[in-house]
Amino acid sequence: MTHTAGVISGEISNSPVSTRLRFFALIAIVLLGSRHALGDGPSELAGLRALYPSLDSLYIDLHKNPELSLHEERTAAKLAARLRNLGFEVTERVGGFGVVGVLRNGAGPTVMVRTDMDALPIKEQTGLPYASTTTVKNDAGGTVPVMHACGHDIHMSSWVGAATLLSRTRDRWHGTLVFVGQPAEEVVQGAENMIKDGLMTRFPKPDFVIGLHDTQVLPAGQIGVVAGPAYAASNAVDIRFFGKGGHGAAPHLTIDPLLIAARTVVTLQTIVSREVNPFDPAVVTVGTFHAGTKRNIIADEAKLELTVRSFKPEVQKHLLAAIERIAKAEAAAAGAPREPEVVVDAHEASEVVFNDPVLAARLTTALRRGLGDANVVPGQPVTGSEDFGVFGRVAGVPSIQLSIGAVEPAQFASAKSAGTTVPGPHSPLFAPDREPTIRTAVAAFTLSALELVGTPAGGK
């Protein structure tokens, strides 16, 4: 996923507003700790306090030993071993390094609980004592640093925590739990790969699907719930322009593809600002620009790489068509010797993650009942992308992805007061406030599953 990330700067303000924000944030975390994060809240979470140290150890291990997409072999083995020890029927290597654990407990609904497992090619800069120093060879043969910069280590630890609590409380529910460890989320391939390998046919088909994702837009201890579109559809687009190379001192004898590409970059910005309804969120971002080898040589090719995002299929279709139209028009205007190649990468595409509104309302009520109204808040859709929505869409059942606050509350309050943000997912500085974040995520998974398992599919 992609999120905007910033850094807190300057000293904490001593203004009355800032002081009040810090005070209430600290009170909130104390209350959260006393009510459920420390194990004294809902009876469904009994044992969480005693369980937490083992989850913390797992988190640190996962954080220190991240693995890239499609290479999650050791990570998957760790999750599989944990589920086996809890009594789940475990199958490994589903759609790559996917893990599926099934826990049957009589007749009742089937609930799928999903975590992602992969990390990112980012060099960690948090300065934490357990920071990742891992480097690996990527698929292109280059050496890259690896970091859990998107919080999948938080997700996995919380997933194991929920599996543990649910396996110990079988007298409280009936039905089937399907715990899914999904690889390759960061390249939006893992969900489809697991589906193609029989996830919905080899294993019990779910009546509900639950996932979660940590975020820097909420303080640790809070859960955000979005009803409807929650994460944007995305496409990766590559454009290759062709020109006529030559000497940089004689540009009149060339056709400069770098200039064509530069004009395209600028004109692409008019798609969202002038062609898309202002009430329809859309993003067209040029992430890379490659051209040339030396300052006095005009190249004969230039390449752009784009990410394109929206929440409606018709908007996404328009964005992609407009990108191709503009690229070809700029090339034609410059007299390019051939049309540009515009390629939409089918392997790096995701659909909108849609949170079922009825399920969202139901879980909001259940989570507020367990954790308190102040700790369960309305969330906001983000233009980051996920492949979580594939599971619910293929199964044809309600699904939801919850948002879990990951920022230390006082730090969150001071940043909000200063009008800044703290580092979030995909930042080399992303450092979740791990204890309250993991405990809240365990609670979110556990209470949501218990609300659904043992109740007839379709709700109360």
pLDDT band at 347 (very low <50, low <70, confident <90, very high): confident
Residue 38 has what pLDDT? 40
Mean pLDDT of 428-450: 98
The tens digit of pLDDT for each residue in 276-298 reads 999 999 999 999 999 999 999 99
The tens digit of pLDDT for each residue in 15-61 reads 344 444 444 444 444 344 434 444 446 888 999 999 999 999 999 99
Residue 363 lies in a domain: yes
The candidate with the shortest Cα–Cα distance to 292, out of 327, 337, 251, 333, is 251
The tens digit of pLDDT for each residue in 63-108 reads 999 999 999 999 999 999 999 999 999 999 999 999 999 999 999 9
Residue 204 lies in a domain: yes
pLDDT band at 140 (very low <50, low <70, confident <90, very high): confident
The domain that holds 381 is classified in CATH as 3.40.630.10
Question: pTM of the predicted model, to two decimals?
Answer: 0.87
Shared domain check, 340 and 405: no
The tens digit of pLDDT for each residue in 187-202 reads 999 999 999 999 999 9
Shared domain check, 195 and 317: no
In terms of phi and psi (left: phi > 0; alpha: psi -120 to 50; beta: otherwise), the region of 349 is beta
Residue 10 lies in a domain: no
Shared domain check, 189 and 263: no
Residue 261 has what pLDDT? 98
Residue 212 lies in a domain: yes
Taking the C-alpha atoms of residue 395 and residue 184, their distance in angstroms, rounded to an integer, is 20
Shared domain check, 170 and 86: yes
| Domain span holding position 259 | 234-349
Active site residues: 118, 185
% of residues, the chain, pLDDT over 90: 87
CB 74 within 8 A of CB 119: no
Shared domain check, 183 and 173: yes
Residue 41 has what pLDDT? 67
pLDDT at 245 exceeding the cut of 70 = yes
Distance of alpha carbon 389 from the chain centroid: 11
| Domain count across the chain | 2
Residue 272 lies in a domain: yes
Shared domain check, 72 and 114: yes
Mean pLDDT of 402-415: 97
Shared domain check, 201 and 274: no
Q: Which amino acid is at 427?
A: S
pLDDT band at 1 (very low <50, low <70, confident <90, very high): low
Mean of all residue pLDDT scores within the chain: 91
The domain that holds 322 is classified in CATH as 3.30.70.360
Q: Of 349, 366, 399, which residue constitutes the final position of a domain? A: 349
Shared domain check, 260 and 128: no
Q: Of 349, 383, 414, which residue constitutes the final position of a domain? A: 349
pLDDT band at 455 (very low <50, low <70, confident <90, very high): low
Residue 387 lies in a domain: yes
Shared domain check, 366 and 257: no
Q: Of 306, 330, 349, which residue constitutes the final position of a domain? A: 349
Residue 5 lies in a domain: no
Shared domain check, 345 and 356: no
The tens digit of pLDDT for each residue in 170-179 reads 999 999 999 9
39, 40, 42, 48 alpha-carbon torsion, rounded to 10°:
10
Residue 197 lies in a domain: yes
Mean pLDDT of 358-383: 97
Shared domain check, 287 and 157: no
pLDDT band at 10 (very low <50, low <70, confident <90, very high): very low
Shared domain check, 278 and 191: no
Q: Which two tokens stand for residue 257?
A: 């593809």
pLDDT at 137 exceeding the cut of 50 = yes
Q: Which two tokens stand for residue 213?
A: 């994702």
Backbone phi, psi, residue 333, to 5°:
-65, -30
